[in-house]
Structure 1
Amino acid sequence: MDGLRRELGLLILLAALWGGSFLFMRVAVPAFGPLALIAVRVGLASCLLLPMLAWRGQFGLWRAHWPRIAAVGILLTAFPFCLIAWAQLSLPAGMASVLNATTPLMTALWAWPLAGERLSAPRLAGLALGLAGVLVLLFGHGARFGIQSGAPALAMLGATASYGWAGHMAKRWLPGLPPLVTACGGLCSAAALMLPLAWWSWPANAVAPKAWMAALLLAVLCTAAAYLIYFRLIDRLGATRASAVTYLVPVFGVLWGALFLGEAVSAVMALGAALILAGVLALGRRR
């Protein structure tokens, strides 16, 4: 019982950290810009995970599979992180975290073309519920749907679609590899891609200490530490139970945004979140 309580506590901590990532990005991205911020995030996080990879003696596994690890890692970190950071130039942290909860929906959509999985009627109903929630959020963001009001939300959906695609590719290309190898190798590959882009887009004005602090917390807590907790949960609970964190992240994303940024939680946002989470739960049901 004590072990179960400890793992449940870690699950809640992980959700709090990943929910906090939207708060820290909302604070830091106006000062850094999307590309520079994500370069700092993945660069620092990879530097923190590399010593652990060396301690476990798993560099050989990375070298043996580095092209595929790089492809999956870039589409699991660099590309979606940049889209999310750009979206958060205008989207509130709470709304971004709710849209991020569409990741299981996108994973299910990719299942048919990539894994040959047929969508049953209940799963199609789950997708429909999730889509309805997304539409509620899209049309509730701004007076009318247009490029200015809708593009950030669509960028969030592009990020979750990238997460879903990369998840299937990781299962196909990297079976049996330790999660730390995939995560650390992917972050290092993302950092190698982002560093030149960060140099090109680095802000001309000095970045304020508050933004630097948010970027450091994003890298250390919401990326490196969160990955380590996630590995622990996968090892102790299994991947399916560990994925329950998806349901909790929007709760903390909305909570941190309301507490620290004064973001309002509207009825439209609550309705959209409820529909998305209902769709995710319907997709996760087993026969």
Structure 2
Amino acid sequence: MAIASGTTSSAVSAESAYAWLTPVELLALGAIWGASFMFMRIAAPDFGALALVEVRLVLGGLILAPFLWRERRHFSRNLWWKIAGIGAINSAIPFVLFAWAAQRAPAGIGAISNATAAMFTAVIAFAFFGERINSRRAIGLVAGFAGVVVLASGKTSGESVWPAALAGTFAAFLYGVGGNLLRKHLSGIPAGANASATLLCASLLLAPLAITHWPDHAISARSWFSAGMLGVVCTGIAYMLFYRLIYRIGAPRASTVTYLIPLFGVAWAWLLLDEPVTASMALACTLILGGVALSQQRTAKS
């Protein structure tokens, strides 16, 4: 018992020692992932969606490759088929949808629609994996999806943004599917290796399309810089930071970064790209984030 008490005291002391670091890393991660929509907005018109996402996947997967190499014993031949499928659902297709949306609407549209991923995860877990949804969470889901309707009905500079909003929302839906598949089929694999494997498999699946759609014009240095930041920082380094948080404070607390991404996404686009923040975007963001907050809550029996 004395040993157990000492271990518990050490764990509490360690958590207390890092108490200041956790909010700093959450803010940093929210800022990084929020910036990804700005970088897509800059680079997508030059690269095109397919080529840009291929660069992102390759760079992100390579940054995380040391984790994959260290845990290579976990990966059997049969497992790679599941990894490839999940890589397509959880990375390749949603990344392409967000990049496609970035060519057609302000970066804030993609950042706000991305926040619905947490709600789709809850809906899919309820529909296919037996997770309960109480009345409070149900109200949150309704509010969040109402926010999607508001977002899709908005306009910027007189142009409708509904195609981009729906593309981003469908990408978030795929994140919800992918998150549940990861939990069901790949939960025993260390997260860093898991992420590298899915990103690299996704890059291989997308490579033929990316090569055939590679731009035949010179790509500006600004777009190359944005693509590099998107792959290295917003994918590779961001995943490493996210896993540090998961291991230290647990997945539920780490997932609160969901609330920061749209706020930073809109702020970066407003500050650095001079994109407007419309009333419909503000209302949609409020509804979606409020819905996410409610849909993430659980009862003691859930």
Post-superposition Cα deviations, 1:51-78, rounded to whole Å, max 9, x if no partner, equal: 3432xx2112133522212211221110
2:120 to 86, 106, 124: 106
Structural mapping, 1:127-146, within 5 Å: 127-141=141-155
**Counterpart amino acid of residue 91 in structure 1:** A
| Structure 2, gaps ≥5 residues long | 1-15
Post-superposition Cα deviations, 1:224-252, rounded to whole Å, max 9, x if no partner, equal: 00010011000101001000100011111
- Partner Cα separation in structure 1 for residue 291 and residue 236 of structure 2: 30
- Partner Cα separation in structure 2 for residue 269 and residue 23 of structure 1: 16
Flag the 1:280–1:210 CA change in 2: closer, same or farther, 3 A: same
- What is the match of residue 241 of structure 1? 253
Count matched residues.
283
Q: Please give the secondary structure, in 2, of the residue aligned with 1:243.
A: helix
Q: Does 1:83 align with 2:97?
A: yes
1:19 to 8, 13, 34: 34
- Does the 8 Å contact 1:62/1:185 carry over to 2? no
- What is the match of residue 75 of structure 2? 62
Displacement after TM superposition at 1:149 (Å): 3.9
- Does the 8 Å contact 2:36/2:234 carry over to 1? yes
Q: Please give the secondary structure, in 1, of the residue aligned with 2:75.
A: helix
- Partner Cα separation in structure 2 for residue 139 and residue 46 of structure 1: 36
Displacement after TM superposition at 1:144 (Å): 9.5
Q: Please give the secondary structure, in 1, of the residue aligned with 2:298.
A: coil
**Counterpart amino acid of residue 38 in structure 1:** V
- Partner Cα separation in structure 2 for residue 22 and residue 231 of structure 1: 21
- Does the 8 Å contact 1:20/1:253 carry over to 2? yes
Dislocated runs of 4+, deviation >4 Å: 142-145
| Structure 1, gaps ≥5 residues long | none
1:209 to 213, 221, 246: 221
Percent identity of equivalent pairs = 41
- Does the 8 Å contact 2:67/2:196 carry over to 1? no
- Partner Cα separation in structure 2 for residue 121 and residue 69 of structure 1: 35
Give the TM-score normalised by the residue count of structure 1.
Answer: 0.94
- Does the 8 Å contact 1:62/1:69 carry over to 2? no
- Does the 8 Å contact 2:65/2:193 carry over to 1? no
Displacement after TM superposition at 1:142 (Å): 5.8
- Does the 8 Å contact 1:133/1:271 carry over to 2? yes
Larger Cα-atom Rg: 2
- Does the 8 Å contact 2:68/2:197 carry over to 1? no
